[in-house]
């Protein structure tokens, strides 16, 4: 049974945001949906990049202390 577009989009979003896959890698998996998927995935990739951060060691330690308190 063929996957629905929503399922494919969700899978690709997961690959990009949690597995560090590229838009191109996702599009290669579903070339038949390239025109529909590409704009969504480009937006997801840009958003993930804009909101990615790594907390400093100080912030991590403060959070750990607050959690243990």
Residue 16: which pLDDT band, with cuts at 50, 70 and 90? very high
Residue 1: which pLDDT band, with cuts at 50, 70 and 90? low
39 has pLDDT over 70: yes
Distance CA 4, CA 11 (A): 11
pTM of the entire predicted model: 0.70
Distance CA 51, CA 55 (A): 12
Residues 12, 26 contacting (CB under 8 angstroms): yes
- Residues 5-15 pLDDT 10s: 999 999 999 99
- Residues 48-64 pLDDT 10s: 888 877 788 898 899 99
């Amino acid at each position: 049974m063929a996957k629905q577009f929503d399922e494919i989009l969700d899978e690709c979003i997961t690959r990009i945001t949690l597995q560090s896959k590229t838009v191109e890698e996702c599009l290669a998996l579903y070339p038949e949906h390239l025109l529909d998927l590409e704009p969504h995935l480009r937006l997801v990739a840009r958003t993930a990049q804009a909101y990615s951060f790594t907390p400093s060691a100080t912030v991590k330690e403060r959070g750990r202390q607050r959690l243990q308190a």
